[in-house]
Chains A and B, each alone.
Chain A
Amino acid sequence: MSDKILLAHGSGGKLAHELVEKSFLQAFSNPLLAKLDDSATFDFSGRLAFTTDSYVVNPIFFPGGDIGKLAVCGTVNDLAMAGAVPLYLSLSFIIEEGLPQQDLMQIVSSVKEAAEEAEVQVITGDTKVVDRGTADKLFINTAGVGMVPEGVDISGSKAEPGDKVILSGTIGDHGIAVLSQREGLSFSTKLQSDCAPLNKLVADIIKVSPQIHCLRDPTRGGLATTLNELATQSKAGIKIEEEKIPVREEVYAACEMLGFDPLHVANEGKLVAIVAPEDADAVLGRMQQNIYGRDAAIIGEVRQEHPGRVVMRTKLGASRIVDMLVGDLLPRIC
């Protein structure tokens, strides 16, 4: 094998087969993939959740993860936010020629590790190699399917006045960790991306509150954007308390330096749960027992007033509107 990915690796010829066999098949070995048919086939009954996403993060390696781990976690989390148990993924690699093979191997091994943790299988995939300059190192497109357990019906439109808003942990870790590595913006921080599969945390939540109203992972656009989406979809107001929102000191400091609001910075391993008030304490307790929900907190509640808007009580005791992120100064963070 040569050290770098060549156009020929995506040609469908010998080099391409070698790449598929030596890297992907070995890493993701499972009976459905091993058949190497044009489509993977499997039996299924019940309600299916189906999602797709593309990953173009720059840089492809960042503290706490890489584009491979991100692709698995992101897709798994999208399924989990519908209450689904993730089952199978597809992975499509679009590679810029010249990518070191070692980088690809490392990313494939991250995919394998994340998929094992989330207990999902990669059962179909594709590889394309494009001319230098027509893609940036590596893009990954995914699809994922999962099974929605009977009785679970989660939607962003189901928040009701009186419901409690629970956040699973600190915000802004992923966005700041990635940003710290960007050309022209590099600064040193010990911060790691929070990139993680949340399907088991969701399963824990559903165990204690099968009727949970909303679940969403605040990725791009941050917590502020997610809460605004939920408020709009549910035609309800959301009131949060600044004091209750967990933010790491390093994230605060970096945000102050860069002029960002932590509420707008991306996360890849956090979720917002909106639950009936009587379930809130049980859900919170259960979340705090999961490694990915240790710092969970009730950060606010759903209200009848100001439908479609999010209002925050500041640490000083005043109120202000929390709006969606506008534009994007941090392109391609996921």
Chain B
Amino acid sequence: MKFIDEYRRSELAQGVVHRIHRNSTKSARLMEFCGGHTVTILKHGIRQLLPPTIEMLSGPGCPVCVTDNADLDKAIALAQIPGVILTTFGDMLKVPGSRSSLQKVKADGADVRIVYSTMDALQIARGNPDKRVVFLGIGFETTAPTIAASVLQAEQEGISNYYALSLHKLCPPVIKALLDSGEVRLDGLICPGHVSAIIGSRPWEFIARDYGLPCVVSGFEPLDVLQCVDMLVAQIENGRSEVEIAYRRGVRPEGNRQALEIMEQVFETCPAQWRGMGLVAHSGLRFKAEFERFDAEIAFEINPGPVVEPKGCICGDILRGVNTPQDCQLFAKVCTPESPVGPCMVSSEGSCAAYYLYGAAGE
């Protein structure tokens, strides 16, 4: 398999960088929606390679970061219910809720297990019939189909001790909310690659059409991002606003039909609470009535207690692109990856963590 080195070749990258420098005359603020892109950009030092005309802004595309404290508290309370095994992606373990974190309640005896896929969670449910196994469903359109698939599988096998807490969020509605707020002026949008692999590039068309904003779907290798910036610059310089794909090996305009179908079979949209954005209509996913018995919110009596927001933390503003991590008083002083105050310092896709870990070291 060779899918990585080709996208990190320095001579190819230099060619694209050279073209961006040659073509970019207008000042352009580009938002990378996705935290994965923020990491690529900082990890490979891409900002240092771009001309001064281009400003890169991080967006709200980190599922861990946008999870509201009230929802985190729910997950933490669930883990503490006797007889529950809470299965989760590793990133969630350290995220602080109002009073605790999954990592802390695990140390106090809660059974919290890291899994890489929902099928592993299902395997744990099969192996522990006397326990109730809950999968913490945090993610965007990329993870929602895998949870839907696990629920369908559980139903088919008659596994009755498997549940999911659906805190899923959908990307296009939140970008609409961000643009409608008028808080941030943008000249181009780097659309999420993995989300688009599921939903396709068509759901972004309203942004190009209604908001006149150039959109390019990007992959996550450095060359993908550079090619995407190059395509955005070309649109901006020519006064075009279209949806283009710089990630053809992963994304088709129509998306992944099969994944969308199972998602629609199990879930329906609902309003969802986003950190920094508040309640956004149609941006969440809840179980349809016929799958309610898998819904952890219904199956368990969860008492998370009152929500407390961390003092001084501006994760919400950072997620909206209004502030950068360096604007935060707590950044790298009080809030570090070892003792995070806000989620953006915890997640491997969080802006604060990326700034902290890979902070430019221009010589």
Contacts and interface: CB of A to CB of B under 8 A. Distances in A.
Interface string B240-282: 0000000000000000000000000000000000000000000
Nearest to B357: A323
Nearest to B94: A327
A256 interface: yes
Given A184-B116, A184-B120, A320-B43, A329 B49 contact: no
Interface string A241-280: 0010000010011001011010000000000000000000
Given A184-B120, A253-B1, A317 B361 contact: no
Nearest to A312: B361
A291 interface: no
A326 B337 contact: yes
A91 to B, nearest CB: 30
Contacts of A320: 42-45, 358-361
Interface in B1-31: 1-5, 8-10, 13-14, 17
B121 A184 contact: yes
B184 interface: no
Contacts of B120: 183-186
Given A249-B1, A318-B44, A320-B42, A327 B338 contact: yes
Best-surrounded residue of A252, A319, A326 (most CB of chain B within 10 A): A326
A184 B174 CA distance: 32
Contacts of B357: 321, 323, 326
**Chain A facing B: main interface SS:** loop
Contacts of B45: 314, 316-320
Contacts of B14: 316-317
B46 interface: yes
Interface in B326-355: 336-338, 348-349
Contacts of A329: 90, 93, 114
B100 interface: no
B109 interface: no
Nearest to B103: A327
B4 A252 contact: yes
Contacts of A18: none
B124 interface: yes
A187 B116 contact: yes
Given A249-B4, A323-B357, A318 B114 contact: no
B70 interface: no
Contacts of A306: 361
Given A184-B120, A317-B10, A320-B44, A249 B363 contact: no
How many residues of B sit at the interface, in one of the four size bands?
35 or more
A314 B8 CA distance: 9
A265 to B, nearest CB: 14
A102 B7 CA distance: 47
A320 B46 CA distance: 10
B4 A316 contact: no
Interface string B55-89: 00000000000000000000000000000000100
A223 to B, nearest CB: 15
Contacts of B114: 184-185, 329
Contacts, number: 105
Interface string B196-229: 0000000000000000000000001010001000
Contact of A318 (B49, B94, B116): B49
B89 to A, nearest CB: 9
Q: How many interface residues does chain A have, given as a range?
A: 20 to 34
A253 B1 CA distance: 9
Interface string A280-317: 00000000000000000000000001100101001111
A258 B10 contact: no
A243 B115 contact: no
B131 interface: no
A194 to B, nearest CB: 20
A315 B44 contact: yes
B113 interface: yes
A303 to B, nearest CB: 10
A320 B40 CA distance: 12
B246 to A, nearest CB: 16
B124 A184 contact: yes
B312 interface: no
Most chain A CB atoms below 10 A, which of B3, B87, B116:
B116
A3 B115 CA distance: 32
Contacts of A185: 114-116, 120
B48 interface: yes
B90 A316 contact: no
Given A316-B45, A320-B44, A243 B10 contact: yes
B116 A316 contact: no
Nearest to B362: A319
Given A184-B121, A186-B120, A316-B13, A256 B337 contact: no
B297 to A, nearest CB: 23
A326 B358 CA distance: 13
B142 to A, nearest CB: 13
Nearest to B346: A327
Nearest to A315: B8
Contacts of A253: 1, 3-4
A316 B2 contact: no
Contact of B8 (A187, A316, A327): A316
A221 B218 CA distance: 31
B260 to A, nearest CB: 23
Nearest to A309: B361
A311 B363 CA distance: 10
Interface string A145-156: 000000000000
Q: Closest 4 interchain pairs by CB?
A: A318-B45, A326-B337, A184-B115, A184-B120
Given A317-B13, A319-B363, 16 more contacts: A184-B114, A184-B115, A185-B116, A249-B4, A261-B43, A306-B361, A309-B361, A314-B44, A315-B222, A316-B17, A318-B45, A318-B360, A319-B48, A320-B361, A323-B357, A323-B358
22 contacts: A184-B120, A184-B121, A184-B123, A185-B115, A185-B116, A187-B116, A249-B4, A252-B4, A253-B4, A256-B4, A258-B116, A309-B361, A314-B44, A314-B222, A316-B10, A316-B45, A317-B10, A318-B49, A319-B360, A320-B42, A320-B43, A320-B44
